[in-house]
Chain A
Amino acid sequence: GQQVMQIPQYQHVQEGEDFTTYCNSSTTLSNIQWYKQRPGGHPVFLIQLVKSGEVKKQKRLTFQFGEAKKNSSLHITATQTTDVGTYFCAGRDSGGYQKVTFGTGTKLQVIP
């Protein structure tokens, strides 16, 4: 079955440093979504990417979808303490039912 891996599993950064998490799928995706889960909270939808090579920005966050539609990345510029949380990607299968599989998540800790 489809597997979606994220690296790194954990990341500690000094406030102001940049951060990147990578998401890799074992199968080609029709689209990919990113979610953020704050400590003690529930996952919250951030963005969806659909097109091959697509790049979207939300303030300090930049999201990319790979050309082969099998990988994606989330880059945060100049991290702030409010960025703390776990970031999940979620990939939708390109064929058949289009099942969604969540990635393993990257837990970000920002040191003030």
Chain B
Amino acid sequence: DSGVTQTPKHLITATGQRVTLRCSPRSGDLSVYWYQQSLDQGLQFLIQYYNGEERAKGNILERFSAQQFPDLHSELNLSSLELGDSALYFCASSSQHYTQYFGPGTRLTVL
């Protein structure tokens, strides 16, 4: 158990819909990262937050947005969903030593 929690574990929705994925980092970790992993693919970095502020942006679509709240949990919002958005979405957190601890992921299926 990495100490990072993600909810929900599975999400099935339809095209055009909007969903929110939630992540709680390890206690004390200020950084939160979001990644997308399509079937048998690598980890596509989406975005990073540090202590509530956006720190780095990767290949995140304009339909996607994220935020980190004062209690350090983070949410990833995916809107106008398309079939191609079906993937595993991982959240990771890190401390000052930069090692990333990954949550169990949310599997999103868009029908």
Taking beta carbons and an 8 Å cutoff, which residues of A are in contact with B?
31, 33, 35, 41-45, 48, 88, 90, 92, 97-105, 107
Contacts and interface: CB of A to CB of B under 8 A. Distances in A.
Contacts of A88: 42-43
A105 B42 contact: yes
Given A101-B45, A107-B40, A43 B56 contact: no
Contacts of B2: 42, 44
9 contacts: A42-B103, A43-B90, A45-B101, A48-B98, A92-B98, A98-B98, A100-B45, A100-B98, A107-B40
B42 A43 contact: no
Nearest to A1: B58
A92 B45 CA distance: 13
Contacts of A104: 42
A67 B90 CA distance: 32
Contact of B43 (A44, A45, A102): A102
Contacts of B56: 97, 99
B90 A48 contact: no
Among A31, A35, A100, the most chain B Cβ lie within 10 Å of the Cβ of: A100
Contacts of B40: 107
Contacts of A102: 35, 42-43, 45
Contacts of B42: 88, 102-105
Contacts of A35: 100
Contacts of B90: 42-43
Nearest to B100: A45
Contacts of B104: 41-42
Contact of B102 (A33, A44, A92, A101): A44
Given A102-B45, A105-B43, A43 B102 contact: yes
List the 7 closest pairs (A to B, CB-CB), nearest first.
Answer: A42-B102, A102-B43, A105-B42, A104-B42, A43-B102, A45-B99, A99-B56
